[in-house]
Structure 1
Amino acid sequence: MKKDQTNSRRNFIKSTALVTAGITIIPRHVMGGPGFLAPSDKLIVAGIGVGGKGQSDIQNFANTGKADIGFLCDVDDRRAATSIGRFPKAKYYKDWREMFEKEAKNFDAVSVSTPDHNHAVQALAAMELGKHVYVQKPLTHDIYEARQLTDAAKKYKVVTQMGNQGASGDGVRKLREWYDADLIGKVHTVYCWTDRPVWPQGIPWPEHSNATVPSELDWNLWLGTAPYKDYVDGLVPFNWRGWWDYGTGALGDMGCHLIEAPYRVLNLNYPKDVQSSVGSVYVDEFKRGYFPESCPPSSHVIMTFPKTDKTDSDVTLHWMDGGIKPMRPEELGPNETFGDGGNGVLFIGTKGKMMCGTYGENPQLLPTSNTDEVSVPQKYDRVEGGSDGHYGQWVEAAIAGHGKKELSAPFEISGPLTETLLIANLSIRGIDVRKEKTRENGDKYFEYPGRDVKMLWDTENMKVTNLDDVNQFVKRDYRTGW
C-alpha cells in the first residue's frame, strides 16, 4: 500500500508538472466551445470531502437538475456513508490525488469541503487541470494561499465560487440599495459579531494520547499539509477549527458570512492596519495559560480600511467573537433582537444606522419601524433562489464557461475577503508570540512583542511592516510530500 501511495503521489506530481509546462486537460464543455454541454447535458462534479457540509454541497448541486455527482472522495468512510448511499453510481476514492490522476478526463468541476488547511492544494490542483471549483469558506488557511488562488482563477480561466451563500442572498443587495440611496449617510464604523466558537479553544494540545485511529479514517490523508501529530479523540470531524494547524477559528468560520455585507456595501478591500485583544485562559489562580497552538476563546479585532468610492473617510471595522457584542444602538428597542441574536452586523453612518443577521439576512433600518416605511427602487439583480441559488449559480456558470455569467463569490472577490479575515488572525496570533529573555540576575522571563501593537499591513508584499514576528504565519511550510 505504501508503495502504491508513493507511486500515486509521484505520478500526480509528474502530471501537475506537465500542466505547469503547458499541457492542460480541458473539460468537455470547454472543448466544445461556448454553450457546449457535456454528453449528459450536465456538469459532472467530483466532491472532495463529502460528509457534513460537503454532503449538503454536492446534494445542492444535484438538486439543480443540471449537475451529476460523478466522483466522491473522503478520508473518512463514516463521513462519506450518506453521500455514497445517495449517489450510488459515483466512484469513491479516499485520496483526492489518486482521483485526479485516474479520473481527470471524466469530470468537469470539483467541490472542496475539507478542513481549512487542505483547501488551497486541492483547489489549485483542480484549477491546474482546467476544472471549475467551488470551495467552502474560508477560501484558504493562509494569506499567501488566498492570493495564489485569486491569481490562479484568472490564469486558468475557470469558474470559481466560495461557499458563502449569503453573497447570493437578497439581504446584501437590499443593504446596498439602501446605502446607495443615502438613507444612512456615509458609513465610518461597522461592527460584526458572532457567538462562535462552539468548539473548544484556548486549551492545550494533549501531551499524550493513547487513542486508536478509527479503521474508517485515513489519519495521514486527513493531516495532509499539516505537521504530523498522533491522532487524538474529538478532533474529527468538527473540533479541528480551534487549532491553528488546521482551522482559522471563529473568524474563519463565520467571518465570510458576516464581513461579506460591509465588503459589498462599502466596496472594501484590504485593511491597512489591525489591532486586537483576546480573552484570557487561566491554568490556575495566578497564571495565564499559554497555548499558542489553539485559537483564543474570544477576541476583539479592530481593522482600518482605506477610503473607498462609497465612503468619505477610512472605515473602522470591529470584529467580536466568543459572545462579545457591541453596545446596543439607542435606536433599537430594549426587547428587539440585535442582529439575529447570536450574530450580526451594524453599520453606523453619518445620518443613521442599519443592521442585519448572518448571511446579510433580515436587513433593517434603525429604528426598525423605518424598514417598512422606506421604499427604494431595486438597483441590483437578484439571484434566482437567493442564498439557496448560490449553488445553481455556480453550476450554470460552469456549464456556460468562464466569463459568460456573473457569480456572487468568485475568487476575485472572495480571495481578498478571505485575506482580510486572515490578516485579522495575524493580530490574534501575534498576541501569543513570545521571546525568552534573561535578566541581569540570570532569571528567565518572556516578552510578548505583539501585544499593544497596531500592526501595519503591506498589501502588495503581504507582510506586517512593524512586527516581523507574525509574518511567519502569512505562508506556512507544508509537510513533506504535500
Structure 2
Amino acid sequence: MDQQKQTNTTKNSRRDFIKTTAMATAGVMILPRHVLGGKGFLAPSDKLIVAGIGVGGKGQSDLAEIYKGGISEIAYLCDVDDRRAENSRKSFPKAKYYKDYRELLERENKNIDGVVVSTPDHNHAMIAMAAMQLGKHVYVQKPLTHDIYEARKLAEAAKRYKVVTQMGNQGASGDGVRRLQDWCNAGLIGKVHTVHCWTNRPAWPQGIHWPTKKADIPRALDWDLWLGSAPYKDYVDNLVPFNWRGWWDYGTGAIGDMGAHLVEPPVTVLGLDNPLDVQCSVGTTYVGEFKRDYYPESCPPSSHIIMTFKETDKTAGNLTLHWMDGGIKPMRPPELGPNERFGDNGVLFEGTKGKMMCGVYGQDPQLLPLSRNKEDKTPKTTPLVPGGVDGHYWQWAIAARAGYGKVKLASDFAIAGPLTETLLIANLSIRGTDIRVPKQNGKGFLFPGRDIKILWDKANMRVTNFDEINQFVKRAYRQGWSLGV
C-alpha cells in the first residue's frame, strides 16, 4: 500500500470510528461537524485538552496516536529528561513544557481535561492518582501500576472520582481478541483447560547485580524527579531510558512489560479473575560450580510461572495458565505443521474439543490445525471496538468528551486493575524465590520461596502461606512521595 493510500485509509478509519462512537452516545455529547467528517473548523473549546507526562519513547507515540483521533489538543508536556522530550516538543511546539508533574497539575489544573501517563512503572500510580483526584481523565501505560495495592486503589479511585480511564494495552481493543471470543462462545474448542502465554522478553539486562560504579548525572535529566517514589540510589549508566525495566525498584520484568498484551486475551475470553495460586521456576546465573548467584534487586533472566484460576463457564474446571519468558516456549502443538510458524510471542488455548492461538495483542487469531480457518464461518457476534487497535486511543478521548459512564472502554481501570493485579501476583512468586532465611546453624541461608506454591487471598490482598512475600504487595514510598490515599 503506498503512503497516500495508507494515509487515506487511516483518515477514513478514524472518521468511521468517531461517527460510530458518536452515534452510540447520541444525546450524551454533541460533536462538531469537522469531527463527524463534514466541512468546518473544530473549535478549541470542543477539544479534549491533554497533558502528557513522560513524553519520550512510548509517551511520544501515545500522544501522537491520541492526537490523530481529531478531537484532542496536546497542550502540555512534562518530562524529567529534556532529551527524551525533544521530539514531542517539536511535534507540539505550542504545548507548554514542565519537568515536574506536580507543578504542571498545580498550575494548569483548570486548563486540563485529560492526562496521559507514560513514565516508568514505579511512578504510574502516584501520577495517575494525583490527576484523578483533580477530576482529570487518565490514560496510563501498561502495566497500570508497579504494586498490587496501587492497582486496587486506582480502580477504586476511578469509580470514586468518576473519571474516564484507560490502560495502554491497545490489543484489548483489537479485533483478534473478539474473534477468539466468538470461537470460544461457539464451542469450537470446547471448554478450555490450559493456556500457554510466552514472550521473547526481556530485551534488556536481567539477572545481574546493581552496578557499583557511580556515573555523572546528565545535565538534561532531573534524577531526583526520575526516581520519584523509588528509594534513592546514585545515578548509574545504562539505566535510563530503557533498562530500568529489569530492576524491581522501577520495573516489573517481562510479565509486567508484556503480560498486558498476552495474558489479557485469556482473561477476557475466559472471564478469569485473580489466580488462586501461583508457582514458578526462574533462570539464574551461576558464579561457580553449583553456586547460584544472588541478585534480589534484579528480575531473573527467564521464568516459567504457573497460575491456577477458578473455573468459569468457559473452562473445564479450574484453569491452568503457563507464563514463559526469556526465550522459553511451550511444546509445539501437534496440530501445527513442522514448517508452520509458532512465533516468539503468543498465546495457545487448549480446549476439550480443539485448540486456538494468537500472537501478541491478540493479533492473527488461528484455529488449529490451520486448515480449519479456511472453512470457518463462525458468525462475528462479539461487538468490535471501532478503529480496532488504533481506536484504543481514540475511544478514550471520545469517552472523556462524552463523560464518565457514557462510552464503554476496552481497558478502563475496572478491567485493567484486576488484570494488572494478576500480573503482579505472578511476580510475587518470582520475588519469593529470592527471599532467604538464615540456617539454624548460622552457616548460609535457606530459600524457602523456591519450593512453594503461593496461595492468594484476593479479598485481603495477601499471600496466606508465606508472609514474607507480602512486603511486595505494597511497597514503601521514598520520603516526600505519596500515593495520596
TM-score by length of 2: 0.90
1:2-401 aligned within 5 A: 34-35=28-29, 40-209=45-214, 211-338=215-342, 341-401=343-403
Q: Deviations over 1:293-312 (max 9, x none)?
A: 00000000000000113223
Kindly indicate whether the alpha-carbon contact (under 8 Å) linking 1:50 and 1:113 is maintained by their aligned counterparts in 2: yes
Kindly indicate whether the alpha-carbon contact (under 8 Å) linking 1:127 and 1:158 is maintained by their aligned counterparts in 2: yes
Q: Deviations over 1:445-468 (max 9, x none)?
A: 101111110110000000000000
Q: Deviations over 1:212-249 (max 9, x none)?
A: 10000000000000000000001000000000000000
**Distance in 1 separating the partners of 2:350 and 2:228:** 43
Kindly indicate whether the alpha-carbon contact (under 8 Å) linking 1:438 and 1:445 is maintained by their aligned counterparts in 2: no
Which 4+ residue blocks in structure 1 deviate beyond 4 angstroms?
A: 36-39
**Distance in 1 separating the partners of 2:56 and 2:192:** 40
How much does 1:39 deviate? Answer: 5.3
Query: Amino acid of the residue matched to residue 302 of structure 1?
Result: I
Q: Deviations over 1:85-144 (max 9, x none)?
A: 110110000000000010010010000000000000000111000000000000000000
**Distance in 1 separating the partners of 2:30 and 2:118:** 28
How much does 1:208 deviate? Answer: 3.2
How much does 1:36 deviate? Answer: 6.5
Residue equivalent to 2:430: 428
Q: Deviations over 1:345-386 (max 9, x none)?
A: 000000000000000000000001101211111112212221
Quick check: 304-313 or 288-297, which moved more? 304-313
Q: Deviations over 1:131-158 (max 9, x none)?
A: 0000000000000000000111110110
**Distance in 1 separating the partners of 2:312 and 2:130:** 35
Question: Of residues 388, 409, 412 in structure 1, which corresponds to 2:411?
Answer: 409
Query: Amino acid of the residue matched to residue 181 of structure 2?
Result: R
Query: Amino acid of the residue matched to residue 128 of structure 2?
Result: A
Query: Amino acid of the residue matched to residue 368 of structure 2?
Result: L
Q: Would you say how many aligned residue pairs link Structure 1 and Structure 2?
A: 444
For structure 1, the residue ranges without an aligned partner over 5 or more in a row are 1-32
**Distance in 2 separating the partners of 1:366 and 1:39:** 51
1:447 and 2:446 correspond: yes
Residue equivalent to 1:457: 456
How much does 1:407 deviate? Answer: 0.5
Kindly indicate whether the alpha-carbon contact (under 8 Å) linking 1:36 and 1:399 is maintained by their aligned counterparts in 2: no
Kindly indicate whether the alpha-carbon contact (under 8 Å) linking 1:192 and 1:320 is maintained by their aligned counterparts in 2: yes
Helix, strand or coil: the match of 2:448? coil
**Distance in 2 separating the partners of 1:283 and 1:95:** 42
RMSD: 1.2
Helix, strand or coil: the match of 1:283? strand
Residue equivalent to 2:473: 474
**Distance in 1 separating the partners of 2:210 and 2:284:** 17
**Distance in 2 separating the partners of 1:246 and 1:376:** 44
Helix, strand or coil: the match of 2:258? helix
Helix, strand or coil: the match of 1:312? strand
Query: Amino acid of the residue matched to residue 80 of structure 2?
Result: V
Kindly indicate whether the alpha-carbon contact (under 8 Å) linking 1:306 and 1:315 is maintained by their aligned counterparts in 2: yes
Query: Amino acid of the residue matched to residue 159 of structure 2?
Result: K
**Distance in 1 separating the partners of 2:369 and 2:314:** 23
**Distance in 2 separating the partners of 1:41 and 1:320:** 46
**Distance in 1 separating the partners of 2:424 and 2:410:** 21
What is the percentage of aligned positions where both structures have the same residue?
70
**Distance in 2 separating the partners of 1:361 and 1:372:** 17
**Distance in 2 separating the partners of 1:50 and 1:39:** 22
Quick check: 302-311 or 342-351, which moved more? 302-311
Helix, strand or coil: the match of 1:451? helix
Query: Amino acid of the residue matched to residue 294 of structure 1?
Result: S
